[in-house]
Amino acid sequence: MAILKVSGLEGFLRKRNPAIGAILIYGEDQGAVRGLASRAVQHIAGSLEDPFAVAILDGDALSADPGRLSDEVLSLPFSGGARVVWVRGSGQGFLKAIEPVLGGSVKGNMVIAEAGSLPKQSSLRGKFESSDHALIIPVFEADNAAMTETIKAELHRLGLQISEDAKARLIELAGRGGVTLQREIEKLALYCQGVQQVTLEDVEAICGDGLWAETGDLADAVFAGNIADADRFFTQLVSSGVDPGRILSAAHGHAVRLIELRQSVERGMGVEQAVRSARPPVFFKRQATMQNQLAAWTSEDLLAAAASLHGAICQERLNAGLAESLANRSLLAVARMSRSFRVRMN
């Protein structure tokens, strides 16, 4: 049984065991699975798109023609280099097609296969785990330590170093909205070509979904009760071309996150601990701000604020001409709520 950790893939690719003819990468985060498979394909074939170096197959399509996989494994590379058979969506059709490779009777081009979450009793997982000619790589949700190691290793491989505050911010942004860490590292490396040190400013400029980087200050101002700042940030965002509906959506998302953290507090967790243990992690420079917001708001009040923002989102979609005024009015109403809570605390 050959189960490889994600961190071990790079080492295997540098010094491949010729007995291994297939690698199965599986996990719930399909973006992370695809990113890892892409790295393996790129390393072996030197390309992701060259049809002479990469044969891309749909796993379900192999049900009708299971022998095609063996044909691709045995085919000679056109240019004389390495060739990869990249299977996406590995299901029952793939299970039947891969058996000759797992048994060692068919050898040739490497098979890189992707699959979703596989339970222990999965036939596909069991076949790979019991084969002497295959590796299996489970992709689990990474904790902070694992993400830190990945960032350091990948950037070092690309000739880059990263500051501690930039690393912390990258971890936060990579965990937001399903954005995968590997993709963010690749974007960052491309952006930082020609320099040696990745800074916080670099991460803020290129990483994440973009929306939070634009609207984060506004959301914090709204839920901290800073009415003047909230109004100023809103005006700046709209003037720069950000859609009012997107601004409302970002504020609503912030409310939902606060609800989750506040519920942890109301179950007995301390405010500071709730923020520090949040997943995805809260950037350390924002932790004090988030703690203050959690201390001021109750779950009931946050639910009311989220409902108000959601209602405004629905209204602005039906009244595009009034989108800006509806969004501004809704955000300032929530900011006034927050100010009243802050006064109550004092």
Give the pLDDT of the chain (346 residues) as one tens digit per residue. 588 888 788 889 888 899 999 999 998 877 778 878 888 998 899 888 788 899 999 887 888 888 999 999 999 877 667 899 999 888 788 999 999 999 999 999 999 999 988 888 899 999 999 999 999 999 876 667 777 877 888 888 888 999 998 898 888 777 654 446 777 888 788 778 788 899 887 887 677 655 555 688 899 999 999 999 999 999 998 988 888 888 888 898 899 889 989 998 999 999 999 998 887 678 777 889 999 999 999 999 999 999 999 899 888 878 888 989 999 999 999 999 998 876 566 5
pLDDT tens string 50-95: 888 999 998 878 888 889 999 999 998 776 678 999 998 887 889 9
How far, CA to CA in Å, does 165 sit from each of 146, 263, 264?
Answer: 17, 28, 26
Q: Which amino acid is at 277?
A: S
Residue ranges with strand state E in the chain: 22-26, 54-58, 84-88, 110-115, 134-138, 161-162, 197-198
- CA angle, residues 197, 203, 207, in degrees to nearest 5: 135
Structural domains for the chain: 6-138 (3.40.50.300), 144-206 (1.10.8.60), 211-345 (1.20.272.10)
Closest by Cα among 181, 171, 179, 254 to 212: 254
Centroid of chain to Cα 301: 30
Q: How is residue 75 annotated by DSSP? A: S
Q: Kindly report the pTM of this predicted structure.
A: 0.52
